[in-house]
C-alpha cells in the first residue's frame, strides 16, 4: 500500500491484513515490498486510473502506469518468479475502435488519451516479461466497472453524489455532466473482483490477454437518466453540460467481447444487473451524505 493511504474501507478486516508500504514509481521501494511479502498471487491494480487527469499530467500518468509496472514485474522476477501476476489493463487501450461488433482481444490498439497510451505500454511490457522470462502473467483489459464506494471523480458516482446532494437540499436541482453520447460497456466491480479471483485459479497463463467485460453497451445519457429516475426529486432535475468535463478527444464507443473470458472460465460469468449497481451506488452516497 502507498504511504498515507486511506484505510477507512478496510477497518473491519485490518487485524487480518499484513500491510507493506511501497511507492510504485520507486523501484527499490517496490523490490523491498515484494521481498517482505513474498506473494504467490499478485493483483496489480495500482496506478493513475482517471482518464481526465492524464490530459493534465501525461508524463506522471505514464511513469506510474508503465514504468511502475516494470518496477513491479522486475521485483517479482527477482524475488518470486513463479507467482501468478494479474496486470490490470484497460478498454481505453482500444481507443478509436468504433463499430457495430463488440471488441475482441485481437482488435488493433489505437488509444486516444495519455492514459490509454500508458496502459498499452504496461500491456506490452507485461507480455514481454511473460514470454522472455516464462512468468505467469495474465493481462486483463477491463472495461468500465462501478459500484458502492466508487470515487466521486468518475462519471456515475459523481452524478449519484450530485443527485443525493439535491435530495438533501445541499445544491440546486441541476446536474453538471460531460459527454452523454458516449457508449460504454459497464459491469459491477463486485463481479469484476470475483472474475479476477477465478482467473488466478486457472494455473499457468504466460501472457494471456483477456477482456473483462459484460458485452453490453450503455449510453451515458441512459445511465444519468436511470440514476435520476431512482430519485423522488427526479422530475425537478435539470441537466447542464460542463465544458470542464469534456475531453480533448473522447472514445465514442467501447463495448467488449467476453467470448474469450467465458471460454477460460467455463462459460458462465458472475453478472449483476447494472440497474442494481446504480441503485447501490445511490444508497452508498445517501449513507455518506446522510452522516
Residue 182 lies in a domain: no
Q: How high does pLDDT run on average in the chain? A: 93
Query: What is the band of 247 on the pLDDT scale with cuts at 50, 70, 90?
Result: low
CATH of residue 79: 3.40.50.720
Give me the pLDDT at residue 50, please.
85
> Comparing C-alpha atoms, which of 108, 99, 116 is closest to residue 183?
99
- Can you list the pairs that 284-291 forms with residues at least 24 positions away whose Cβ atoms lie under 8 Å? 284/148, 284/149, 284/160, 285/157, 285/160, 285/161, 285/163, 285/164, 286/164, 286/167, 288/164, 289/161, 289/164, 289/165, 289/168, 289/170, 290/168
**C-alpha grid cell, residue 128:** 514481454
Domain membership of residue 1 (yes or no) is no
pTM (two decimals): 0.92
pLDDT tens digits for range 8-22: 888 889 889 888 899
In a domain, 17, yes or no: yes
Residue-wise pLDDT for 23-34, tens only, equals 999 999 999 999
Residue 14 lies in a domain: yes
Q: What are phi and psi of 257, to 5 degrees?
A: -100, 115
Domain-located, residue 179: no
Residue 59 belongs to what domain range? 8-148+187-216+256-271
Q: Is residue 174 included in any domain, yes or no?
A: no
Establish if 281 belongs to a structural domain: no
Say how many domains are in the chain.
1
Say whether pLDDT at 291 is over 60: no
Amino acid at each position: 500500500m502507498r504511504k498515507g493511504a486511506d484505510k477507512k474501507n478496510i477497518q473491519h478486516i485490518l487485524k487480518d491484513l499484513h500491510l507493506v508500504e511501497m511507492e510504485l514509481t520507486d523501484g527499490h521501494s517496490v523490490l523491498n515490498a515484494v521481498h517482505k511479502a513474498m506473494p504467490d498471487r499478485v493483483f496489480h491494480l495500482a496506478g493513475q486510473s482517471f482518464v481526465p487527469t492524464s490530459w493534465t499530467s501525461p508524463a506522471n500518468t505514464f511513469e506510474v502506469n508503465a514504468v511502475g509496472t516494470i518496477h513491479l514485474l522486475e521485483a517479482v522476477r527477482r524475488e518470486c518468479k513463479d507467482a501468478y501476476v494479474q496486470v490490470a489493463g484497460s478498454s481505453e487501450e482500444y481507443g478509436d475502435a468504433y463499430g457495430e461488433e463488440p471488441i475482441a482481444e485481437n482488435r488493433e490498439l489505437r488509444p486516444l488519451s495519455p492514459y490509454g497510451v500508458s496502459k498499452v505500454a504496461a500491456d506490452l511490457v507485461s507480455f514481454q516479461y511473460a514470454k522472455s522470462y516464462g512468468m505467469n502473467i495474465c493481462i486483463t483489459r477491463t472495461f468500465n466497472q462501478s459500484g458502492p464506494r466508487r470515487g466521486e471523480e468518475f462519471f456515475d458516482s459523481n452524478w449519484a453524489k450530485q443527485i443525493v446532494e439535491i435530495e438533501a437540499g445541499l445544491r440546486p436541482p441541476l446536474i453538471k455532466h460531460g459527454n452523454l453520447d458516449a457508449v460504454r460497456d459497464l459491469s459491477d466491480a463486485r463481479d469484476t473482483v470475483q472474475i479476477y479471483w477465478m482467473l488466478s485459479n486457472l494455473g499457468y497463463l504466460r501472457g494471456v490477454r483477456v477482456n473483462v467485460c459484460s458485452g453490453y453497451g450503455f449510453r451515458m445519457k441512459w445511465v444519468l437518466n436511470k440514476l435520476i429516475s431512482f430519485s423522488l426529486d427526479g422530475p425537478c432535475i435539470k441537466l447542464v453540460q460542463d465544458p470542464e468535463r469534456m475531453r480533448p478527444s473522447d472514445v465514442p464507443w467501447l463495448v467488449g467481447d467476453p467470448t474469450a473470458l467465458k471460454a477460460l472460465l467455463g462459460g458462465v460469468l458472475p453478472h449483476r444487473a447494472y440497474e442494481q449497481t446504480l441503485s447501490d451506488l445511490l444508497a452508498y452516497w445517501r449513507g455518506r451524505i446522510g452522516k
